[in-house]
């Protein structure tokens, strides 16, 4: 098996996960990279007590998913520019009906 070459990053995603109903930060939500411009090993983060997370990523379009311990997940397509951090807000907790 061939593994992708490691990448270097001077930027990425700086985000927050909040409850869609209340806007309150969601602690301990898992945030995963589910698609991107290059194959990468599992990239994930867990939100802090204030709902924040950081993902170091190279330039490109990345699809991320936030999964709270209860309620529905949220997906977002994020474009990361070279040498910069992209701020995002994911709203979770709304279940599909």
DSSP string, the chain: --PPPP---S-EEEEEEEETTT--B-TT-EEEEEE-SS--S--EEE--TTSEEEEE--SEEEEEEEE-SSS--EEEEEEEPTT-EEEEEEEE-----
Q: What is the pTM of this model?
A: 0.84
For the chain, what's the residue count? 97
Cβ contact 31:45 at 8 Å: yes
Domains and CATH numbers, the chain: 12-88 (2.60.40.1120)
Quick: pLDDT tens for 55-96: 999 899 999 999 999 889 999 999 999 889 999 999 998 655
């Amino acid at each position: 098996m061939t593994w992708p070459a490691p990448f270097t990053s001077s930027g990425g995603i700086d985000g927050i996960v909040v409850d869609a109903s209340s806007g309150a930060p969601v602690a301990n939500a898992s945030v995963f990279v589910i698609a991107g411009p290059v194959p990468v090993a599992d990239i994930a983060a867990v939100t802090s007590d204030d709902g924040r997370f950081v993902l170091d990523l190279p330039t490109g379009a990345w699809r991320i998913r936030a999964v709270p311990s209860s309620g529905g997940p949220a997906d977002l397509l994020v474009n990361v520019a070279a040498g910069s951090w992209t701020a995002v807000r994911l709203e979770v907790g709304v279940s599909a009906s």
